[in-house]
Structure 1
């Protein structure tokens, strides 16, 4: 018996491009393959989603995602932006708690995915 008979592996994409989430099939794959740890679920439900929702008046603020190369920042932003734009992707989330919390923002945004490198231009000029 071989390991391949017992376990099915899908190749891991080493680099996620944020713009890949512009395509529906890619967005669904990015959402379904994102592994949500208990700690990440807590951050998404307790911090990220409450800052994105507009149903209840709170002091909403911008969020800054910081991390080293290869730590999943683009994958995370692809998941958040895909769900914010397409409510039907909630079913692809691998964590029921996060999916329930994300109902507050799912499908309520038009998303512009862009990456801004080192620049001296203002955000207004870029957009």
Structure 2
């Protein structure tokens, strides 16, 4: 008698993906790509290769694979050797031929805390750039310092983008935030509006500078 497990190889499907902690090779090799998703990935790659970009929102219900998609994108952008672990041969070939640039990557899973998103952004950039790339930057450390900045676009250019480009002139910058919806959902409306305004600033910055922002959300979150 032949047992079922002798006919098939089973791999446990994990309901929760942790982009920051999960093994990059596993995130890439277990990613299942539909035909529509291939086209989406091709558009994202074209966007990444440009000097100016459009920021990306990955939106879907719980369990639809938003975090897995986010992890797939940032990991192949960080390490092109991971493309070899993609199961879809057509997509593997496309990425090897078309993903041209190298990137500075910052990825963070947002927690449901009440601090302004902008202040969290600055702190995360400071920590990750110094720890992973040896780049020291000066950023606001308190809400008072954060609120005293009159032009966040210029501040980010001067204090984040410029130091990165001085050390890595040929690299683009990808900043990815997972679980944005949970972060915003527990906030008061006026605080959500402030956070969405800062996110809008980041999106506008992408269109003029070599930095791209990626957010995963459970549903569309609009400011009121």
TM-score of Structure 1 vs Structure 2, range by shorter chain: 0.7 to 0.9
Unpaired stretches in structure 2, ≥5 consecutive residues: 126-224
Normalising by structure 1, report the TM-score.
0.80
Q: Show CA shifts across 1:47-81 (max 9, x none).
A: 21111113xx6x52111111111111111111111
- Aligned residues, how many? 119
User: Which 4+ residue blocks in structure 1 deviate beyond 6 angstroms?
Assistant: none
Structure-1 residue corresponding to 2:45: 49
Q: 8 Å contact 1:32–1:92 — kept in the other structure? A: yes
How far 1:91 moved relative to its partner?
0.5
Q: 8 Å contact 1:84–1:106 — kept in the other structure? A: no
Write the mapping of 1:54-73 to structure 2, written as runs, cut at 5 A.
54=50, 60-73=53-66
Q: 8 Å contact 2:86–2:92 — kept in the other structure? A: yes
Structure-2 residue corresponding to 1:34: 31
- Structure with a larger share of its residues in strand: 2
Structure-2 residue corresponding to 1:95: 88
Equivalent residue of 1:110, what SS?
A: strand
Q: 8 Å contact 1:83–1:106 — kept in the other structure? A: no
How far 1:126 moved relative to its partner?
5.0
Unpaired stretches in structure 1, ≥5 consecutive residues: none
Normalising by structure 2, report the TM-score.
0.48
